[in-house]
Structure 1
């Protein structure tokens, strides 16, 4: 199936809820009912119908951060790295979609914007998950708001200070990790709140700086209402691959793959490589979606 140029995305759960509410809504009356005679012979006025209450959207309750901190206070991790228990590295079995994910890391040297890459996605209306760090959002506030309004993009949580997620300070690529349960919570939750305000709903996905975790930190992310997303296809190796290598890497993705690349290095080969890969993949009938495989194509 070739992705339509008029891709219309909706969340499956939202569509189901809307259909259910529509089926339960009161139907318009085809006419006025005749007055019911009263025992005294007069006409009894027809009672006004009881209005149907408007459903209130369900807003997830804020987690008890102090309780989470206490829950994991003495937990000792046994795993560390890119692929630990609880990290989603591929979409669910049976998914027909490839998930393209792009990190905006923020900080010194990491707050740039690859407009060529963003244009390549928008021009084709290709669904993509954008993992934005709080520092990147603060450096690019207007663009962040613009991206939040694009219906085929989903903004996700890339942490507050772009740190590996550990309860014991484990580093990755020379970057010190969070050093306690409280620091794990702060790294996730501060940007969670910023993204919720920006998008109007809580983020579903989390990826740490460097994508390294211990399994205790992964469980903490779950208790904070997000799911940790890794990858099985490294699209640009931290924006260090040249154009041809990016194209080959992205094209190696199969249905269910989660591809990681970067949107904050405009001088890299990422944009040109992704652009070339998309042309070939769309021509071959590839379908693109999100880390849960959810995608709907316009007729």
Structure 2
């Protein structure tokens, strides 16, 4: 039986700006800042990486393991089918990696017939449900764990599609810093974006484009944050259930 998440918890740290006059929403997500409560509290940053389809950027994955940097990885069913070696690494390090839902076929979870960045949206409530549920089932089969968060392809939604996802028992994962511009930015720009993260920021980048320069930038950005003494957290951190001021 589907159990809805309380909306107060879901949206406690989520602001929802409109997306360029299209009627679509692009949620942002930040942690409640400990600095408002405790002087000298550590800077906390959440690294979230989308594994849309295709291959694995082991430059990023190996760095996360070697440097012991926790991260939340959003995987599609398509990616899981073709990346058993990377999945084995994720499962071997449960202290580092939280695996969450990026959908079944990397279709935007939008319940109206639109195209976003050239990708056709799900187009109906039923199709949104299939995209979310297909991804959930693949993760359960691969990990034995129920995902708690969902991020759709393009990270765009409608109000009603976000409600549908919530009613299916998953929270919509926004972000506050776009690290790699969909993995299309160069190494320098990507590194600069990620390194600029402040306390409470949620960074989005990609871990499925091993031939793109952005992957090099992700690694450099991560190392820059580590050099600053940043504490890396995952989306299962209690901070994401704490209302922000």
TM range (shorter): 0.7 to 0.9
- Tell me if the contact between 1:97 and 1:293 (Cα under 8 Å) persists in the aligned partners: no
Question: Where does residue 164 of structure 2 map in the other structure?
Answer: 220
Unaligned runs of 5+ in 2: 4-21, 36-42, 240-245
- Map of 1:152-171 to 2, 5 A cutoff? 152-171=96-115
User: What value does the CA root-mean-square deviation take over the aligned residues?
Assistant: 2.1
- Of 71, 91, 102 in structure 1, the residue corresponding to residue 31 of structure 2 is 91
CA distance in 2, matches of 1:144, 1:279: 23
CA distance in 2, matches of 1:174, 1:270: 21
Q: TM-score, normalised by structure 2?
A: 0.81
- Report the CA distance shift for 1:104/1:254 in structure 2 as closer, same or farther (over 3 A): same
Task: Tell me the secondary structure at the aligned position of residue 194 of structure 1.
Answer: helix
Number of paired residues? 214
Larger Rg: 1
- Map of 1:70-85 to 2, 5 A cutoff? 79-83=23-27
CA distance in 1, matches of 2:202, 2:113: 27
Give the strand-richer structure, 1 or 2.
2
Name whichever of 278-287 and 119-128 sits farther off: 278-287
- Map of 1:102-181 to 2, 5 A cutoff? 102-106=49-53, 111-151=54-94, 152-181=96-125
Task: Tell me the secondary structure at the aligned position of residue 87 of structure 2.
Answer: helix
- Tell me if the contact between 1:250 and 1:259 (Cα under 8 Å) persists in the aligned partners: yes
Unaligned runs of 5+ in 1: 1-61, 65-77
- Tell me if the contact between 1:99 and 1:293 (Cα under 8 Å) persists in the aligned partners: no
Q: CA deviation at 1:112?
A: 1.6
- Tell me if the contact between 2:51 and 2:206 (Cα under 8 Å) persists in the aligned partners: yes
Question: Where does residue 101 of structure 1 map in the other structure?
Answer: 48
CA distance in 2, matches of 1:249, 1:125: 21
Task: Tell me the secondary structure at the aligned position of residue 98 of structure 1.
Answer: strand
- Tell me if the contact between 1:234 and 1:249 (Cα under 8 Å) persists in the aligned partners: yes
Task: Tell me the secondary structure at the aligned position of residue 190 of structure 1.
Answer: helix
- Tell me if the contact between 1:101 and 1:259 (Cα under 8 Å) persists in the aligned partners: yes
- Map of 1:30-45 to 2, 5 A cutoff? none
Question: Where does residue 282 of structure 1 map in the other structure?
Answer: 226
Q: What whole-Å deviation, never above 9, does each CA across 1:211-246 have from its counterpart, x for those lacking one?
A: 110011111111111111011101101111111111
